[in-house]
Amino acid sequence: MKTIDDFDFKGKKALIRVDFNVPLDGEFKLTDTTRIEAAKPTIIKILEDGGSAVLMSHLGRPKGQAQEALSLKHIVSAVSEIIGVKVNFVENCVGWEAEEAVSKLKSGEILLLENLRFHAEEEKGDEDFAKQLSALGDIYVNDAFGTAHRAHASTTVVAKFFEDKKCFGYLLAREIESIDKVMKDGEKPVTAILGGAKVSSKITIIENILNKIDHLIIGGGMTYTFVKAKGGKIGDSICEDDKQELALDILKRAEEKGVKVHLPVDVIAADDFSNKANTKETAVDQIPDGWQGLDAGPKTLELFREVILQSKTILWNGPVGVFEMERFQNGTKAVGYAIEEATQKGAFSLVGGGDSVAAVKQFGFEDKVSYVSTGGGAMLESLEGKTLPGIAAILK
């Protein structure tokens, strides 16, 4: 796997695909700088080598039309501040304006190109457009994990014009290493904690990871499809009736493969899907009608904790309760604390894909686990075992 450490960028122009798809408020002020900070180490290494950086990204969904509100010009000063180097901006990402701006770029300087998705060709993976982009750098660096599952011009197609002059930035390299640490060479016991609302959205992940894990903890809304399929009473809890057979099949296959499945034994049930609901603890398979399980109960959390603490490799995807409501956060927090403790004892812990990342950030576990993925969809597809086109294009 080639990374920027395999190149000397002295006198070279690096064309870097970053993920600056950042949230802006009504006054076009950045409300979360995480993605820019995440790209900083790569940019700094290239500048310190004596190279220059041409940054390309998308912002929002302009669908091939230039839109003032989605111009990357709004983030120029924020990027300058975070990187600590003045950032130049050009109002197009291809064509003569871009080429002229690149030709004026000197060592140690940064140029940010306008939103790639102002051109419909970007998302279509258009080869001519990718070729035009490729004229803007000597070495292609992909550091955008968030779009690595898309075969777009700037994330995938452009790579073919760089032969051996292409590599991963630090951020993308770290994402790949972290996924490999779980999926390829995870130290045993390997535990996956899968939560979230539905079995259907996690089924491909479960199928893919059953061969790689020792323990599967199932939590959150997914629980009730399994419990009902096993003959339990789940009251009004969320359930995918048409996935009951699938749930039983997963349990059977897990057993055949020697994977221990841990389902909740008790829950916090509520008489309404609301933070103001009445609540009570019940056995997971004895939930009365009119009540629904919205969080893991204390016995469950003790059980989950024990499994997590004996694990050497941990993957967490999906909250184990409705963590958006304060009264049902306890389970998700407890899982976070257990992972933190296991990590302190030397386990490798990866949090990735969707809402568990939001939960980890909200509850301050970000620095307490080994790695928090920056890519939602890209992470899910990796866990499903798919080869991401953006990664494959560099490896080719």
Amino acid at the residue 63: K
Q: How many residues does the chain have?
A: 396
Is 336 considered catalytic here? no
CB 368 within 8 A of CB 314: no
Residue 16 contacts by C-beta under 8 Å, 6 or more apart in sequence?
39, 42, 43, 46, 53, 54, 55, 56, 137, 141, 142, 143, 169
CB 335 within 8 A of CB 300: no
Helix (H) or strand (E) holding 191: strand 190-194
In this complex, which beta carbon is closest to ligand AMP, that of residue 174 or of residue 202? 202
* Distance (Å, whole) CA 251 – CA 112: 50
Is 137 considered catalytic here? no
Determine which residue in the list 97, 324, 341, 366 makes contact with ligand AMP, applying CB under 6 A: 324
Q: Is 340 helix (H, G, I), strand (E, B) or coil?
A: helix
**Residue 351 found at the interface with ligand AMP (CB under 6 A):** no
Given 12, 35, 117, 212, the catalytic residue: 35
**Residue 357 found at the interface with ligand AMP (CB under 6 A):** no
Given 2, 124, 198, 327, the catalytic residue: 198
CB of 156 to ligand AMP, least distance (A): 26
CB of 386 to ligand AMP, least distance (A): 18
Determine which residue in the list 62, 186, 232, 293 makes contact with ligand AMP, applying CB under 6 A: 293
Determine which residue in the list 51, 196, 232, 264 makes contact with ligand AMP, applying CB under 6 A: 196
CB 370 within 8 A of CB 349: yes
Query: CA of 204: how far to CAs of 208, 210, 250, 287, in Å?
Result: 6, 10, 11, 29
Determine which residue in the list 167, 217, 268, 294 makes contact with ligand AMP, applying CB under 6 A: 294
**Residue 197 found at the interface with ligand AMP (CB under 6 A):** yes
Query: CA of 278: how far to CAs of 219, 268, 269, in Å?
Result: 21, 10, 8
* Distance (Å, whole) CA 272 – CA 294: 9
Rg (CA), the chain: 23
Total chain residues near ligand AMP (CB under 6 A): 17
In this complex, which beta carbon is closest to ligand AMP, that of residue 137 or of residue 195? 195
Of the listed pieces 68-76, 93-101, 192-200, 251-259, which binds ligand AMP according to CB under 6 A? Answer: 192-200
Is 375 considered catalytic here? no
* Distance (Å, whole) CA 257 – CA 316: 20
Q: Would you state the structure tokens that stand for residue 281, as one six-digit string?
A: 């603890």
What does 28-76 look like in DSSP terms, one character per residue?
S-BS--HHHHHHHHHHHHHHHHT-EEEEE---S--TTS--GGG-GGGGH
Q: Would you state the structure tokens that stand for residue 24, as one six-digit string?
A: 């802006």
In this complex, which beta carbon is closest to ligand AMP, that of residue 101 or of residue 269? 269
**Residue 319 found at the interface with ligand AMP (CB under 6 A):** yes
Determine which residue in the list 47, 322, 338, 351 makes contact with ligand AMP, applying CB under 6 A: 322
Amino acid at the residue 100: E
Determine which residue in the list 51, 125, 169, 220 makes contact with ligand AMP, applying CB under 6 A: 220
Residues 7 to 66 in contact with ligand AMP, rule: CB under 6 A:
none
CB of 174 to ligand AMP, least distance (A): 23
In this complex, which beta carbon is closest to ligand AMP, that of residue 75 or of residue 227? 227
CB of 335 to ligand AMP, least distance (A): 12
150: Cα within 13 Å, side-chain hemisphere: 21
* Distance (Å, whole) CA 309 – CA 306: 5
C-alpha angle 113/150/24, rounded to 5°? 50
CB of 239 to ligand AMP, least distance (A): 10
Is 198 considered catalytic here? yes
In this complex, which beta carbon is closest to ligand AMP, that of residue 331 or of residue 390? 331
Determine which residue in the list 355, 371, 375, 388 makes contact with ligand AMP, applying CB under 6 A: 355
CB of 227 to ligand AMP, least distance (A): 11
In this complex, which beta carbon is closest to ligand AMP, that of residue 179 or of residue 294? 294
**Residue 354 found at the interface with ligand AMP (CB under 6 A):** yes
Please report, as ranges, the residues that interact with ligand AMP according to CB under 6 A: 195-198, 201, 220-221, 238, 293-294, 318-319, 321-322, 324, 354-355
Catalytic site positions:
35, 198, 354, 377
